[in-house]
Each structure stands twice: as structure tokens, then as C-alpha cells.
Structure 1
């Protein structure tokens, strides 16, 4: 049986150079929430992935819950993201932007003046958030989004998706996973609304589907994907009885919208509960476009098994891409993977970001050290 991992793959209108996707990874290098040359260099180094999905990027000022994450809601953002997309395309890659509104996983110190922490219900998430001003602080209590505000929030995603195409992205991934705003609507622990956006499975899924539909209508369903994390417990998202029912319903409705892909996250390799095989099989059955699986795929054997069995159409890899800019080549040749430095995952500057060497010990980048943190 031929090896599928390194063969070209079709994703809607795009022909990807291989079946390996670089998963979205928050790296917190966007000073002032604006993409920069250092980020362009980081993505350039990793352009041999069949598809890059960027770090979570906020469609609005209110969604910038973390320190130094990028936005895409004004012309300065567009201009700076263009530098990223141009360099990735120049090196033969394809790139989607992940639109992520952090919702209640936020601290007001990380938001621009005049912005606020918003969520489906005014329930503070357990845990803490890093702020550059005062280091770790408890999450800010969010304000409950009023029903009449939801159309504006949806339109922020839609406008950001339009700007993404203007900035040269090949498409958009709507982030509805890992405890951020859209997945906060799905979970009854974070969504205790009593209007048409709370209560039943259909009501809790309503806003997610409105955003997915709005983005797909604006830029085309063939350029719109979505990330889901069934069984994920990140960001204070406990399990609930209708979990499988929720994701089966979402898969069915997303198929009707015609999204180009569903990207499923399984964080069991990092200690979270594993997504049951039957949950994935149900989603696979109800959503027949491209399915991307991510979580713990660090060997060609494991990737190949997922692709050959038909469980996945593409496989996404996250953390190994941080310390292995030439990850695809290493997988192909069997070169050992370099470990990442956990202390520099989210620090500003090139250290632990663009200075990881390739397998042959060569520097991956030629970025000038004049970047000022």
C-alpha cells in the first residue's frame, strides 16, 4: 500500500503538497496584537506542511483574552497578515487563519481600552490568565452577552473572514473548541441562558451554526472549516450528559452548510480524556467532507494508519512543529524529533520561536535579531 502521508491531498479547491496539517498553536508574539515580521518568518519556516492553520486570532477587540495574541479586525492587521500569507505561498504552502474569540478565558488587562470580557453567561472560568502587567491573575468575571448583541458578534466573525481573504489567506477555521467563546455556548456549565441560545442541544448549538453559516456565506463554504473538541475539558469545560448528542447534531448541521472540513481535537496525549472511537465514527458518518484529526500524531505509522483506515482525510500535528520547523522532512526521513523548550512557548521574541534548527543542525531562519520585544 502506498504511503499517503506525503502524497498531495485535495481540500476543496486547494491541492495540498501532503496530508500533514500544522495545527493552530498560540505563541503570543504579536506585540500590540498586531502580526509582525517575526511571525512571518516563523510560518515561512514551517511552510512545508500541507496546510498551516494559524494561531487563534481574534475577530474583535473583545475576544483578545490572552496577552500578545493577534487580531484580524482592522486594516493594520490585514496589511501585516499579508506579509505572512505572501511568504507562506512563496514557499509553496497553504494557510488558513483560525478565528478565535476567547470569551470568558480572558483578563481585562489583556484587552484594549474600552473592550470587555463577554460570555454566554456571567460565570467566571476557574483557573488563571497570564498578564504582562501583573503576571498570573484569576480570570475576569464575564458579562453575559445580550440576545440583541449576538448578531453583532456573528458579524464580527463574518467581517474578519472577509478581511482574511483580503489578507491573502486560503480560508478560515472557526474555532469552536477548547473552551473558547463558541464552545462556551455548547456546554451547559458555561451556558445557562434561558433564551433561544440556551437549554436544549439545538439552542446551545444555535450561535455556533449561525457563525459557521455566516462565514461560509461570506467567503464560500469551500474556504470555511471549523474546529471542535468533543470530550475536551480545557478551560473549565466539564463533561455533560448530551455531549455526544451535541456533536452528532453539529456534524449533521455543518454538513448541510457544506463546510470544507471539520477539525477534531483529541487531547488525550496531554492527559485529557480520550474522544471515544464511536464519537468520531458518528461525526465521520454525518459529516462527509474532509475530516482532520489531531492529537498525539507524532509518527508516520500513526498518521498513515489514520489515513489508510479512512478515519481521517488529513492529520494535524501541533507541538512537534514548534521545535521542528522541518517536521515534514524529519517524518519522511525518520530523523529524530527535537524537544521543545517549555519556558519559551509564550515569551516575546525569537528565542524558542524562530531559532530551532533543522535536523541537519542548520538554522531554519535568517531573521535579523533586531526584533525588539
Structure 2
């Protein structure tokens, strides 16, 4: 959130510029008119989005309208939601297709896959809307669904992005049609991710995994690996590391997770196996590129990136597997490494 706009809203509350400024005035008006409470639903694609907007709004209210805090706390609910649908960046080809084939001009069409899922915590201030009649799922606890999406879909995307780029692919569907790579992804989901989803029904997990493969291989969703790999330093701690950490706590397998991190290190060399260069688009790109270069002499250096890995470098089991993986990736092709791993399962 733009701090300057927040400051402006605090000075001129009746001319808001931010969502918090608008919400504050709207809720204040509801209180004044004795309309009662309401439910504020966040539709963005971040974990615990309802909790996040609630905490942010309360911080704003503490400065803007502290006397409104108790009323909001008692009358307004902020259910967490999870939306799941792959929507790649709009391409020029999409505009041309609509114009030439469907005689429709749209400056920014949204391309999406057939699959869609919207899950909302059953935490409404008033009567719950009957959205379940059109496919919305209501649940008391959204965390199992969030974890399933983050650790299966989002992690799978990151693996295809990182390893697929190293193999010379450019889109998700291309990478997902590589049998060696997709077999690796399936092994990772089955052997290292699924055991960490203990709060989720096995049938839900199995159905979700089966759907993911078809979704990744959808040739009509030309999602670029460049987009998938963008800001990986923020994605890896959300999508991959929680699985590794949970597996370490249970003294279970982390070999595949360690290989993914080693592949990410190699990815930050900026060159695929065909000798083609690609750009590292990341807020930490300078650190990633420099540390990846240093890892050629001292492989463990990559794990010293504290903002990403925290204290993972202290986990000997993980470090040992990581060092084996990075050594293999430095000596052999990625393709051969994948086949060696897959053949051991």
C-alpha cells in the first residue's frame, strides 16, 4: 500500500484514495445509520487474505477512527478465501484471435483454463449467500485447501518453471509434456508433499493431483516460464520450503525437495542446457546471481541466503542431499539427473 496515499487519507478522510479509507467511511456510515454489520470478502490470491485485510484495516483504524474499532470487531467478519484458476498474461495472439475469429474487440481479455475453484470460510456477519448453488465451496477451515494449492499447484508450477527453463522450454505446457520432468513432479507430489497434507482428505488430494497434470499440460494455456519464475525468491519460501521443513520434522524424505533447490541454484546461472541465456527477474537477483556463481567453488554458499532459507543451512540431512544434487547438476545434464532420480523410485 502506498504510504503517501495512506497519509493523505488520514488528513482528508472524506476524500479517500485507498481501500482502507473507503472501508473506514463506509463502515462508519453503517454504524451511524444503525444498518448493522456486513462481511468483507477478499478475492486476491494470497494466503490468509481475510486475516490480512482485517489486520491491515485495524491498523488503519487505530490511527484514523479508533472509536470505531470495537464496533467493527463485533459486527464485521473477514472470511479467508482461496481462488484457484490459472490465468496467464494476455498475449497479442489472444487479442488477434478474438478480433479475427470471434469478431470481438477487447483491449484486455482474460484467458483462463476450464478448471475453477473458489473456497470461502463460513464466517458471515449476516445470512450466508447461496453461492454454493453455483459452485462455491464453504468450509470451516480453509488452511487445508490453501496448503494443498500452495504445495501442489504452485510448487508444481515453480518446478516446471525452474527445471523447464534449464531444459530449454518456454511455456508450462511444453515443460509438462516432458515425461522425465513430469514424472519427477509426480514423485515429489506423492512422496514428499502428500504426507504433509495430513488435514486434507486423501480423496481430495488424489483428485487434485490428477487434475493438476491435465491443467499443466493444457496446450491452450501458453503460460510463460518467464512469468512462473519471476520473483522466485518470494515463491520458494511459500511453495517449496514448507514441505521440506515439515518433512524434516517427521524425519521423512527430502531428496526431491533438495534437488529442486539445487536446480534453482543452477537456474540462477542464467543459462539453459542449450547455451541460451535468460534474464533472472527477481527482487534479489543480484544476490541470487552472485551467490549461484560462488556456489561453483563452494556449493553451500547458496543456502546462506538468509532472507530465503532462514536456518535451513543448519539441517544436516537437507544439506547433505542438496550437496549431492548440486554436484550432480554441475557434472551431468539436467535430463540425466531427472532420469537417475526417477529410476530410483
Same fold (TM over 0.5): no
TM-score by length of 1: 0.24
Between the two structures, name the one with larger relative contact order (CA 8 Å, sep ≥ 6).
Answer: 1
TM-score for the superposition, normalised by structure 2:
0.25
